[in-house]
């Protein structure tokens, strides 16, 4: 089964601290259990056009699992399954804190499938 990687640009709000955001992600977001078959990674540009800027990368174990969690592509950060909505509800405090650091998710994203 081929893995799928969803790549989303993240922009910090004016005045938000990059190191504080990274620490928050490592300490509060990463340890929280998410839906099975999905891992999240926070990436910061090291060189090139997006140096110093952030990406959130979703790693799905397969196309099928991505489609279970996010049945349809499109606006509103994709159409989410009940499983994802339940997980997001359980992640309330970290999710609210996430919104303190970042601007709303860009609805422009790309999913990449391993070939």
Determine the pLDDT at residue 106.
62
pLDDT at residue 79, as a whole number: 75
pLDDT tens, residue by residue, 61-76: 999 999 999 887 765 5
Rounded to a whole number of angstroms, the CA Rg of the chain reads 14
pLDDT number for residue 91: 65
Report how far residue 46's alpha carbon sits from residue 53's, in angstroms, rounded to the nearest whole number. Answer: 8
Tell me, which fold does domain 4-113 have in CATH? Alpha-Beta Plaits (3.30.70)
Distance CA 62, CA 15 (A): 38
How much is the average pLDDT of 27-48?
Answer: 91
Over residues 78-92, mean pLDDT = 75
Average pLDDT value for residue range 33-50: 93
Q: What is the mean pLDDT of the chain?
A: 87
- C-alpha triplet 74, 78, 81: angle, nearest 5°: 135
Give the whole-angstrom CA distance, residue 58 versus residue 101.
19
Taking the domains of the chain in order of start, what are their residue ranges? 4-113
Residue 58: band (very low, low, confident or very high) from pLDDT cuts 50, 70, 90: very high
Q: Extract long-range pairs of 76-84: CB within 8 Å, 24+ residues apart.
A: 76/107, 77/105, 77/107, 78/109, 83/35, 84/35
């Amino acid at each position: 089964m081929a893995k799928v990687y969803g790549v989303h640009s993240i922009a910090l709000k004016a005045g938000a601290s990059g190191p504080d955001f990274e620490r928050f992600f490592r300490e509060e977001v990463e340890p929280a259990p998410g839906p099975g078959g999905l891992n999240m990674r926070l990436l910061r540009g090291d060189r090139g056009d997006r140096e110093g800027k952030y990406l959130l990368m979703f790693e799905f174990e397969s196309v099928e699992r991505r489609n279970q969690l996010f049945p349809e592509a499109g606006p509103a950060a994709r159409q989410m399954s009940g499983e994802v909505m339940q997980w997001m509800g359980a992640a309330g405090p970290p999710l609210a804190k996430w919104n303190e650091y970042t601007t709303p998710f860009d609805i422009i994203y790309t999913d990449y499938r391993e070939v």
